[in-house]
Structure formats: structure tokens, C-alpha cells
Structure 1
Amino acid sequence: MPAYRWATLGCGVIGHELAQAMQALGGNLYSVGNRTHEKALAFAEKYGISKVYDRPEDIFADPDVDIVYISTPHNTHIRYLLPALSAGKHVLCEKSITLNSRELDQARRCAREHGVVLAEAMTLYHMPVYKQLAELIRSGALGPLRFIQMNFGSYKDYDMTNRFFNRSLAGGALLDIGVYALSFVRYFMSCQPDQIASQVRLAPTGVDEQAGILLQNREGEMATISLSLHAKQPKRGMAAFDKGYIEIYDYPRADTATITYTADGRQQVLQAGNQAKALQYEIVDMENAVAHGGQGMYLDYTKEVMDLMTAIRQQWGLTYPEEEGGVR
């Protein structure tokens, strides 16, 4: 049963998944807030939540709230992160955690100053299959990493008012789906990529609808990433090592990985966890982090991924209205 009182700011798809995960763990959300009060009331009634807030500020002012889950649009995150952290709340925030590196640096400083845990809700880091793969890699069974290849493509209705293409809602492939691919790359690489090459196709609204990204770090490990909001692709991640390669499908919440050993072609299927329990794993890890000084939530990886996305958008000249003419 969850040991802390959670509030959700936002009650869209992720908010519902959070409420269901909390109940599956034997607990319940303590409270809910949403910009549309009627939606918050309906959400609270559906999940038996006793407390509904009229304003986000009321969540942060409530002394009974321990952890706030933020699932509002990307470009609103910083305006909620700073007051929540300043009020002494631990925060788990949907990805992309902020628009850019400057905003994330502000939030990290605020979390340190107030002694609270800040984390991005990147389920990939908390799925058991990735933890087992990390142990296998550390054992040396696969040898050094050489190359990573990532695909993530969705086919979205080509409607420029859709949030995925809406510049005023921080739309575009990189912040919406590219963050998963980059998090996968950072999880397996031994250090952050420091060389970036990319190409982009912009939608009529000016956001990125399709991109190819090539990365390399100081160890010579390389990665290619293919992103699209206008062409369906398998969610496939492949990490190639000296002695074998790992393939993962549905990689943000994968529970299965296939390892092929190159010496003899032998395959090993590794299964761990359950896709349906992705948010449960995240809740448990977040509560453990709160209890043990913030460890286990990969905020350093989150920072490095944000630095990559900020640098990539600078290459493209892609900014959002909140950035006032330049990536901050």
C-alpha cells in the first residue's frame, strides 16, 4: 500500500492510469486538481478521492500532500514545478519534464534548496526488464557497447490544431516521443553523447514532425534515432555489443527483451515485470526515493537527455513561445 499521500495535477489519460495503479497497490490518490473543476470532480467521484482543489496553488498549500504528480502539457510544467517544490512537495512530473535545460536547472536548484525529490515520470527506468538487462551488461556477458538503433513513429491526424503539432502546446516529435528514445540511449550508453548530427522535417506550424538523429560519446559508442509523428514505426530499440545484441519492442514499457549471442546465434528471451504495471513500478520507486534521499529516480539521466534535446532544437532553430525567441 502506498505510504505517502499523492495529489495529481491533471486528470487526463495519465491521471487515470495513476489512479488505477495506486488502487492496484492497495491505496488511493489523496487528492486531485485540474484546470477544469468539473473534470476534477468527475475524476474524484470515479476513483473515490475525497479532496478536490479549485486551484493548483491549493494543492501546494495543503500540508497533507506529500507527493505531486504533474501531467499537464509540457509547456506548463515549470510554472507548477517551482511552486510545488518551493512548498516542500516531492514531485514526479510527466515527460518531457520541462521545455529546455534552463528550466530544468531552475527546478533542480529549487528541489535541492527545499530538500525534496524531483523526478521525471520515465517508466522505462523503472521496468524490471531494464534492471535485469543492466545486471547482464555489468556482468560482461555481452562485452562493450558499440551501437544503438532506435525507432519511434506514430501516425497522428495531420491536423495542425492537434496538440502534437501545436507550437503553443510545445508540440513536436522530439519532446513527445523522442524523449523516450533518448532516455533508452542514455540508459545503455556508458556516458552522455557529446557529438550530435541531425536532420528535421518541420510541420506547417513550425514544430518537428519527423527527424533523424545521430549521436556519439567519448567512448565511441554511437546511436541513431528515427522519429516521426506522420509515419507509423515499430517502437524498437536495439543495442549492439561485441558479443551480442539486445532487441526490445514497445520499449517505453517493455517487459520482454531478446538477446542474440553473435558467436553461435543462440537467443535468450528475458522476461521480467508486466507492461500493465508500469506506473506501479514508478510509484514504488518514487516512494523509495522519497524515503531514502532521492536515489533511484535517474534525475542525472533526465538532465543529460534534456541537454541533448535542447542542443538538437538549437540546431533546428526550433523554439516555443515561452522561450521568447531563443532556447533558454
Structure 2
Amino acid sequence: MTKLNWGVVSTGRIAALFCQDLAFSVNSHLYAVAARKQADADDFAKQYDAERAYQGYQTLFDDPDVDIVYIATPHNFHFQQTYDALMAGKHVLCEKPMTVTVDECQILTTLAKSKGLLLMEALWTYFLPAMKQAKTWLDGGRIGQLKHVKVDFGYPIPFTADGREYNPQLAGGCLLDMGIYPLAIADYFLKSDINHLYVQANVCETGVEDDVIIIGKSDDVMVSLATSFQCRLSNNAYLIGDKGYIVIPDAFRASECHLYHLDDLVDSFIDDRQSMGYHFEADEVCRLIEQGDIESKLVTHKHSLLFQSQLAKVKALI
């Protein structure tokens, strides 16, 4: 398989983690990076051994040697940058949440299909071996009938009124920033949408939420989710059945999972990866492009639209 050339939009923390992990993807080559300032692009390219460094994103989109664009800017920029990359004929892997509204997501998925280009939301958690193992246990009946799904994700983010996380003009708030993880992880194991929502939230002085609890029901499965900028939550996922339960520590970056029958540990899985795990999604994208597929079967456009719909429903209840 020929290595694909990645063009990376942003030189922030997530972009750095992704580029660090591209070294573990045998089908990927970090070709170019773009930033608002040339100096930032130059420094990032030197650190991660990219061939090209561009000031401004359109120059990267127009580079004929870029096969796929990875977008890791703040959420509110995702729509326009993804749109511009698709219009330039590039495949796109866009960080979650892919957009900030259902309508924006629909426009992008429709555009990608019309141009025959791959567009995937970067739900790297879905591709981690421990997540796949937990699903294998669940689907194999190891915990019986699923009764409860509990997921939370939160880290303390010091409050600054003009900081990205707390700025409503930059789509701030913990729901979009971190809440996408509990919603997406729950959906990975559930068979239908979450309904009958009950939401409690704390809204800070800039008008965005910094702590959210979501309770709902998916068919006959009880769902409990939480996200926070105020404190570190357990960040675990629990799948609880009538015969046992599965715990996935630090589920957003899962490297292990454990199966219990009542109080007894009966099975465990621990992967031996040396990376954070972002290369698993990069490998999937490269495989799909090589096959001529324009949509992942694991993170479908339907999934992305569902997440936008769920986020909107929760937001309306805050």
C-alpha cells in the first residue's frame, strides 16, 4: 500500500499528539502543516519532520501532493475549513465535534458524497483495541442483557473569560469540548438513540456550561453521562448487565478493559501499544481511501449527524 500524504491544519496540542502517533502508522506520511503564523508552522514542521510548512490553510488545501487533511482547530472553525478542503478535492479527517450544528454537518456530508471524497469525524476512541474487546464481550453475552451504561469525561480547566474553552464565540463549554466523548462512547455500545433526557448543568459567568450531567434511556437501557471543566471525573465507562459488568478505565483513551461477574474479575484485556492510539484511526482512513470508500462503517455520517442532534437536545435543556 502506498503511503498517503497528510496535511495537518493547526499546530495545537491535539495536532501534536496526532502527528506524534502518525509515526506508528505504516501507511501515513506527515507531508505538510499549516498555521496562521509562518513561524508556528515552521517550528511544528521541524519538530515532527513535515516536508512543508504553510502560513494559511488554503495553501495547504491547494497543494496537489496533499492526499488527506486532518483538521484540529477549535470546533467553530471546523465547518469552513472542512468545506474548503473538500472543495479543493481533499479527503478530510476532522476532529470532533465535526461541526457545531446539525445543518453544518449535513452540508459537509452531502458535499463529501457529491465529490466522492472521504469525510470522517475523528472519533479515535472507536478504533482502540480495548474498546473493540469490550464490545466483543458485550455482543458475546458475557455480561448478559445490558441494563446500564455509565460514562463520564472531565478535567479541571482553569477559568479565563477569554480562554477558548469558556468563550461562547469560540463554541466554548464542556459539552462540545468533552461531552462528545460520553455521548459517542455510549452510542458505541447502545442499539438506539438516547431519549427521555434529563439534564442538570452549571453555567459559568461567560454563559457556557462547565459541568453537565445527562440521564436518559435507550430502549430499556438506563444511561448516565457526565462531563466537566470543574474537576477530573473518573473518566471510566461502565457497561452493566444482569450477569456482570465491564469497566473501561480512562475510556476516551482506553488501553484496557476488565470483565466482572458480580465481585469477581473473570477476564482482562490490556493492549501493548507504545502510542497514544491516534494512529489506529489514521490507519483506518488510509485503508478506506486505498479501497475507494468515502465513508467509514464504524464512524458513519449518520453517527456524526446523530451526535450533533444529541448535543443540540442537551444544549436546549441546559
Superposition TM-score tier, normalisation by shorter sequence: over 0.9
In the alignment, what sits opposite 1:284? Answer: 283
In the alignment, what sits opposite 1:179? Answer: 180
Q: Indicate conservation of the 8 Å contact 2:37/2:56, yes or no.
A: no
Alignment of 1:144-155 (within 5 A): 144-155=145-156
Displacement of 1:151: 2.2
Displacement of 1:253: 0.9
Structure 2: state its 5+ residue gaps: none
Alignment of 1:1-328 (within 5 A): 3-25=3-25, 28-217=29-218, 219-262=219-262, 265-274=264-273, 276-292=275-291, 293=293, 294-299=295-300, 300-316=302-318
Displacement of 1:270: 1.7
State the TM-score, normalized to the length of structure 2. 0.93
Cα deviation digits, residues 16-46 of structure 1 (max 9, x gap): 2222222233553111111122100111122
Tell me the C-alpha RMSD between the 2 structures.
1.8
Q: 1:44 to 1:70 in 2, by over 3 A?
A: same
Structure 1: state its 5+ residue gaps: 317-328
State the TM-score, normalized to the length of structure 1. 0.90
Q: Indicate conservation of the 8 Å contact 1:256/1:269, yes or no.
A: yes
Q: Indicate conservation of the 8 Å contact 2:68/2:91, yes or no.
A: yes
- Please give the secondary structure, in 2, of the residue aligned with 1:231: coil
Alpha-carbon distance in 2 for matches of 1:265, 1:67: 46
Kindly tell me the number of residue pairs found equivalent between the two proteins.
314
Q: Indicate conservation of the 8 Å contact 1:19/1:28, yes or no.
A: no
Q: Indicate conservation of the 8 Å contact 2:25/2:280, yes or no.
A: no
Larger CA deviation: 285-294 vs 99-108 = 285-294
Identity of aligned residues (%): 28
Q: 1:266 to 1:251 in 2, by over 3 A?
A: closer
* Letter aligned with residue 61 of structure 1: D
Q: Indicate conservation of the 8 Å contact 2:154/2:235, yes or no.
A: yes
Cα deviation digits, residues 45-70 of structure 1 (max 9, x gap): 22232212232112222222111000
Q: Indicate conservation of the 8 Å contact 2:5/2:65, yes or no.
A: yes
Cα deviation digits, residues 166-193 of structure 1 (max 9, x gap): 1111111101111011111000111121
Cα deviation digits, residues 174-213 of structure 1 (max 9, x gap): 0111101111100011112133221111010000111111
Alpha-carbon distance in 2 for matches of 1:48, 1:215: 46
